[in-house]
Amino acid sequence: MVRGQFPGLRRGQEAAPRHRFDHSEADPVQEVLALKRQPMAGDALDISLTGPGDHADIALLNQAMDRHYNPDLAPNSIEEVTDLLGRIDRERRFGTQFALARHDGRPVGFAAFAVIHPGRRLNGLIFLKDLFVLPESRGLSVGESLMRFLARFAVDNGIGRIDLTAEPHNQGAIRFYERLGMTVRPAIFYRLDGEAVEKLARISEGKG
């Protein structure tokens, strides 16, 4: 498992034990949001690639992200997200990876990304689909630490670049990415979804 240690976690210091939550509660996301910081000698920020034991924590953060960005839509259930994560682990064709950030042992943010090849000079690239930090944990450099983790992952694996998209109205995100050294590329972002995907699939099968 790849791990990252960041300011606040002294060299050689073990991260706090991972907390698990009672997912039987009616609204487990609120447990994440309301959980008080556990006392310890110094703050600890631990980032690692996830495995099956982390699925429930990723599902909780995914629900929090859905509610933050799409408050009018019901989020996917914990069971739906953990089922998808299990399929991703079992089937390599999905190609998705997750980096999970914990602060004092508590899940506070994640990055969902995929490594795509060939890319320029066959180095491949990381495409970052989601980067999310719980609102009450912002200001702890969690987002920047996740991006540094991805950059180190890229360097360690010979990957040449990191690509992502940001909404034009999200000026905070734009300033954040540009502060990290990212540049805007002169490209048009296309999307095919819903019925358009099904229509193109039918045409490719000669059913259009």
Which three-class secondary structure string do you get for the chain?
A: CCEEECCCCCCCCCCCCCCCCCCCCCCHHHHHHHCCCCCCCCCCEEEEECCHHHHHHHHHHHHHHHHHHCCCCCCCCHHHHHHHHHHHHHCHHHCEEEEEEEECCEEEEEEEEEEECCCHHHCCEEEEEEEEECHHHCCCCHHHHHHHHHHHHHHHCCCCCEEECCCCCCHHHHHHHHHCCCCCCCCCCCCCCCHHHHHHHHHHCCCC
Flag whether 175 is in a domain: no
Question: Residue 208's pLDDT is what?
Answer: 54
Residues forming a β-bridge with 105: none
- What is the pTM assigned to this prediction? 0.72
Phi, psi (rounded to 5 degrees) for 202: -65, -40
Question: From CA 58, how far away is CA 36, in angstroms rounded?
Answer: 19
Residues forming a β-bridge with 130: 112
Flag whether 147 is in a domain: yes
* Burial classification of residue 103, based on how many CB atoms lie within 10 Å of its CB (0-12 exposed, 13-18 middle, 19 or more buried): buried
Range of the domain at 63: 3-164
Which CATH number does the domain housing residue 73 bear? 3.40.630.30
Q: What is the rounded average pLDDT of the residues 34-51?
A: 60
Q: Which one has a higher pLDDT value, 205 or 26?
A: 205
Question: Residue 57's pLDDT is what?
Answer: 95
Flag whether 183 is in a domain: no
Flag whether 78 is in a domain: yes
Residue given tokens 């296309």 in the structure block? 190
Q: What is the rounded average pLDDT of the residues 21-40?
A: 35
Share of the chain above pLDDT 70, in %: 76
Q: What is the rounded average pLDDT of the residues 148-158?
A: 95
* Tens digits of residue pLDDT in 94-119: 789 999 999 999 999 999 999 998 87
* Tens digits of residue pLDDT in 126-143: 999 999 999 999 999 999
* Tens digits of residue pLDDT in 178-193: 999 999 998 888 999 9
Q: Is the pLDDT reported for residue 18 higher than 70?
A: no
Instruction: For residue 43, name the pLDDT band (cuts at 50, 70, 90).
Output: low
- Token readout for 35 is 């959980």
Domain count, the chain: 1
